[in-house]
Structures are given as structure tokens and as C-alpha cells.
Amino acid sequence: MATDDLDDMAALLGDPDVMRYYPRAKDRDEALAWIDWNQRLYRREGFGLWLVTLRSTGEFIGDCGLTPQEIEGTTDIEIGYHVRTDAQGHGYATEAAAACRDLARDVLGIKRLIAVIHPDNTPSQRVARKTGLTHERDTQTRSGQAARIYATAL
């Protein structure tokens, strides 16, 4: 993810459907901050959210990757994904998440993966389960939103 991807990322994160389980959709400045955050993570951690593109055409699909998240005082590595509304339902998030899980385990030496998911977000919970994560507990995010923690040891 780089500053050149701002148009694609602003369209993705500005889509109210993609962001329906977040407090609100992001504006262009917030999408730029999202890119900056991931670039800082690449430098500091060696990972972050990456772009998902179609191998055949290079078309932008969304993002997927690994980010540190603090939940109830403990920082774990979260697997996250966002797919363009018109590209959903083709297995792209599942394919990308499996690749990120394998990289986390085989290259980065990460021992535990979590996903923090709104209880009503069925598609995301399906992707988490297909990636090998199971429902661990229910909690709240720092902003007070209900959240379901999926997790797996790697």
C-alpha cells in the first residue's frame, strides 16, 4: 500500500457498505492516514495490511493483512480484510487471509492470530472460520462497540 493507492483506498474505505460495522466510513484524509499507518507498520513490524489485487489483471480488490491490536490490555496480531462491495462473494478474502496466515506462521514466526469482529458481521466470521480461527470470547472495542474475538494458535 502506497500513497499512489489513495484513490482506490479512499473508494474502499469511503464505501458505507464496506464500513457498515465500523463507527462510520472514512473520508479521503482518513484513507491517507490509513495508508500512512500501514507504511509505518511495514517499517516497524515488517508487516501490515497489504493491497489485494487480481493476479490476472492487477485490478484493485481491497486490502488484507496483519496488524497489532490491543484488546483488554493484551496486544495480539489481528488478521484483517476489506473487499470492494462489487468484488465480494468470490472467495478473495478467504484466499488472501489464508496467504497472510501462512506468512505469519512460516515467515514471521507469529504464534497467535486473532480477528476482532462485530457479532452481526457474518461474512467476516465465515472468513475467520475458514482461515482456521475459532470463536474465543466476546468483548468490546475501546470505542465501546460489541466485538467477538476469533483466535488460533499458529
Ligand X SMILES: CC(C)(COP(=O)(O)OP(=O)(O)OC[C@H]1O[C@@H](n2cnc3c(N)ncnc32)[C@H](O)[C@@H]1OP(=O)(O)O)[C@@H](O)C(=O)NCCC(=O)NCCS
Q: Give contact residues for ligand X (rule: CB under 6 A).
A: 18, 21, 81-83, 88-94, 117, 121-124, 126-127
Please identify, using beta-carbon distances, which residue of 22 and 43 lies nearer to ligand X: 22
Please identify, using beta-carbon distances, which residue of 44 and 126 lies nearer to ligand X: 126
Cell of 34: 490509513
Q: How far apart are CA 52 and CA 49, in angstroms?
A: 9
Shortest Å, Cβ 98 to ligand X = 9
| Residue type, position 126, single letter | R
Please identify, using beta-carbon distances, which residue of 82 and 101 lies nearer to ligand X: 82
Shortest Å, Cβ 21 to ligand X = 5
Q: Residue 32: is it exposed, middle or buried by C-beta count within 10 angstroms (0-12/13-18/19+)?
A: middle
Shortest Å, Cβ 84 to ligand X = 8
Shortest Å, Cβ 31 to ligand X = 14
Q: How many CB atoms lie within 10 A of CB 27?
A: 12
Please identify, using beta-carbon distances, which residue of 30 and 109 lies nearer to ligand X: 30
Closest by CA to 31, choosing from 77, 63, 78, is: 63
